Structure 1
Amino acid sequence: MLPNLLVDTTVLPPAERFDFWYALVARETAPAHITSAHLDNFVGYARAIDLGRIRLTSLRYPSLDSTRPSQLVRRAEADVYQLALPASVLIAYAFAAGGLAVTTYLRDFPDFQYIQLVMLPMYLFATTFYPLSVYPAAVQPLIRALPLYHSIELVREPALGHLGWDLLIPVVYLVAFGSIAMYVATRRMTRAMLR
């Protein structure tokens, strides 16, 4: 991907514009079969700004017909998308176990509001919307301790093409979190049923 991109097809001869746009879309976004009723005088504008892990893109073009058959979907980083399923299962296990452990401590239905008291700030601050570098250095260790932070890292990093051994940290964290939570939930439920 290009770091900063500004494309205006009007600088090209009309016969070359659509082919250029087609190659640009296939390279910068996702491979697809694209056709247009405006092949003879295609006008397209693209602007992209790379902000590190995030890329803002603005595209302006006439109507297009785009299809993405399974061959092209499989050709686009299939290994990255296949990692999303086991990561999602691990995240579901960790949060289900954590939720089960927490519910063993709740005595009444109004106590469930305390879950929201924890979940909403975790959702807002666990790098769901902003990168970790935005937060003050004193707060970053607290954010790194959140299970949602590790869940986001486990899914976001492969989706951005960053595969490495550092992905084992969220895996180990979520396995440990889920296992400890399941142990606590099982012990508390067993004790409650034996009373």
Structure 2
Amino acid sequence: MSGKPDVVVLDYGSGNIHSAVRALERAGAQVTLTKDTESVLNASGLVVPGVGAFAAVMSALREIDGPRWIGRRIAGSRPVLGICVGHQVMFDRGVEHGIPAEGLGEWPGEVTALPEDAVVPHMGWNTVRPPEDSVLFEGLKDERFYFVHSYAVQSWDFDQSIESMNPPKVTWSHHGTDFIAAVENGPLSATQFHPEKSGDAGMQLLRNWILSL
């Protein structure tokens, strides 16, 4: 036993997986790249990466029964971290080229195109506005993170009227319009940006997540 938290990166055919694996290892986790059901369910943390089109990512996840395993982990308060399109699919749906596709529905919201007057794809470094009580962004005030995307969730419609609930922590960024850059909601966290490509700031964010496992 290494004493390091064990983290599974979900292997469902998405690109950019190996850079995420290496970053998580540098951040202090013992990482396995797999789609093995037992490993996915029992690991201390599960990372859901994603690049490309929303519908294609959802299709690939369904091929390995990913929505079921992700849902079981969240229902059992087992930590999950989504990255980029892995963040987007946590919402109700995505609309690309006018065609809607169902997401995992963990959060209400629709992934839509960034404004036409914004330069797309939004590629490069950008600041974010996390809430004061953020765990992911602890010690990361005024840092910048690396984004590569043309679509985003541009409004937050979560019903926070139930006082007994701990409301999700929502982090915003801006590119042509405000959009959701990250969400922390109990066992489920997700970032629109790529922490594995975000230098020291991204590494600290991954450490913050790993320390919370």
TM over 0.5, shorter chain? no
- TM-score, normalised on structure 2? 0.24
- TM-score, normalised on structure 1? 0.25
Q: Which has the higher helix share?
A: 1
Q: Which has the larger radius of gyration?
A: 1
Q: Which has the higher strand share?
A: 2
